[in-house]
Amino acid sequence: MAFEYIKALHIIFIVTWFAGLFYIVRLFIYQAEAWQKPENERKILVPQLNLMANRLWYIITWPSAILTLVFGFWVLSYRWGYLQQGFMHAKLGFVFLLYLYHFYCQKIYTDLQNGTSKLTSTQLRIWNEVATVLLFAIVFLIVLKSLISVVWGIVGILALGVTMMLGIKFYKRIRNKNQG
């Protein structure tokens, strides 16, 4: 019975962590765009967006990342046999990439809070989709538990990535057309 509670908490913190990751990069986009606004708008937008990013990052996203890890290891302690299976190696590899993504978001966060980010809003839109690709990979691996499915999953992830990149280009074209 304890296992189900631990697993439920692990899933809840995964959801809140991903929610934080998805929204923080959206705030990064708005922060980058705010720096391009006229001075009177920038003076209002930048402090407000910095405050929102700070609260999201340190009150929701970081605690959720830590609790996901804690409960993840706890869940794994009930399922040590999974460590012998290839799907779990692949899943943990994608989780490792997700933590690298999180740490790079920390760098972006710090740069934007200091007003020194070198990334454009378009680059941040592309960066925002990396978490989506990782989410798909992790969920399919843990649900399907099959290395054959991993191959198809990787093909699907690549197709998803290409589709998202095309969508970003299409969105940018429409946005530029409507602004011009």
Helix (H, G, I), strand (E, B) or coil at 179: helix
Q: Which two tokens stand for residue 62?
A: 């970081």
Residue pLDDT, tens place only, 68-97:
999 999 999 998 887 788 788 888 999 999
Kindly give, in sequence order, each residue whose CB lies less than 8 Å from that of residue 20, ignoring residues fewer than 6 positions away. 56, 57, 60, 61, 64, 65
Helix (H, G, I), strand (E, B) or coil at 145: coil
- How many whole angstroms separate alpha carbon 157 and alpha carbon 56? 28
Give the pLDDT score at 30.
Answer: 95
Burial class (CB in 10 A: 0-12, 13-18, 19+), 59: exposed
Helix (H, G, I), strand (E, B) or coil at 11: helix
Torsion angle (degrees, nearest 10) of CA 41, 46, 134, 138: -120
**What is this structure's pTM?**
0.83
Q: Is the pLDDT of residue 34 over 90?
A: yes
Give the pLDDT score at 163.
Answer: 86
Burial class (CB in 10 A: 0-12, 13-18, 19+), 148: exposed
Show the beta-strand stretches assigned E in 31-120. Answer: none
Confidence class for position 10, pLDDT limits 50, 70, 90: very high
Indicate the DSSP class of residue 115.
Answer: T
10 labelled binding-site residue? yes
Residue pLDDT, tens place only, 50-67:
999 999 999 999 999 999
Torsion angle (degrees, nearest 10) of CA 72, 76, 82, 84: 100
Identity of residue 129: E
Residue pLDDT, tens place only, 110-154:
999 999 888 998 899 989 989 988 998 888 888 887 666 666 767
CB atoms within 10 A of CB 57: 21
91 labelled binding-site residue? yes
Q: What Å distances lie between residue 70 and 65, 78, 85, 138, CA to CA? A: 9, 13, 21, 17
